[in-house]
């Protein structure tokens, strides 16, 4: 069994979501992965292009690296294991576009959503047709 946790940059604290991921992984002996969609970074990048004011070259890559490190630190705290590893993918884009694109190759059995339950989330959930749990 494979479980993917989807986080967005609007998630204030993903510790709770990672706790759910850990519990499900243990109970179901599942392989787990985290997808973080950086919508705010994508919007900033788009705005900078349309305004003709480019972002510094390493803005996107450094934001992705910081996000990965944050999730790794929290995962180690949640699992209470300094050696705990987890696969984390970060993308800058719209949640409605990036999640289905990511899921095409991953084919998880369960999706956990650790992001704010906005109206567009229901449309994404219907589109991907994978059992889903929203963690609020």
Look at residue 120 in the predicted model and tell me its pLDDT: 78
Determine the pLDDT at residue 11.
Answer: 61
* pLDDT at 97 (0 to 100): 92
Structure tokens at 135: 């963690």
pLDDT value of position 58: 83
Q: Provide the pLDDT for residue 31.
A: 94
Q: What is the CATH number for 129?
A: 3.40.50.620
Query: Beta strands 110-113 and 132-134: pairing type?
Result: parallel
**pTM as predicted:** 0.88
The answer to whether 90 touches 36, Cβ cutoff 8 Å, is yes
Query: Each residue's pLDDT tens digit in the chain (136 positions)?
Result: 999 999 987 565 688 899 999 999 999 999 999 999 988 776 666 666 666 777 667 878 888 899 999 999 999 999 999 998 999 999 988 888 999 999 988 889 999 998 776 777 888 888 888 999 988 7
Cβ atoms within 10 Å, residue 117: 12
Count of structural domains within the chain: 1
Q: Which residues contact 10 (CB under 8 A, 6 or more apart)?
A: 39, 40, 115, 116
Range of the domain at 81: 2-134
């Amino acid at each position: 069994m494979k479980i993917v946790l989807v986080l967005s940059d609007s998630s204030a604290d993903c510790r709770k979501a990672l706790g759910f991921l850990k519990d499900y992984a243990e109970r179901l002996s599942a392989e787990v992965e985290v997808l973080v969609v950086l919508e705010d970074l994508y919007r900033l990048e788009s705005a900078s292009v349309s305004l003709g004011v480019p972002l510094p070259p390493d803005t996107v890559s450094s934001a992705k690296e910081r996000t990965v490190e944050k999730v790794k630190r929290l995962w180690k705290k949640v699992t209470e294991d300094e050696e705990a590893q987890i696969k984390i993918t970060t993308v800058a884009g719209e949640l409605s576009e990036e999640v289905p694109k990511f899921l095409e190759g991953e084919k998880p059995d369960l999706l956990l959503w650790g992001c704010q339950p906005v109206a567009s989330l229901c449309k994404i959930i219907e589109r991907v047709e994978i059992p889903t749990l929203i963690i609020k």
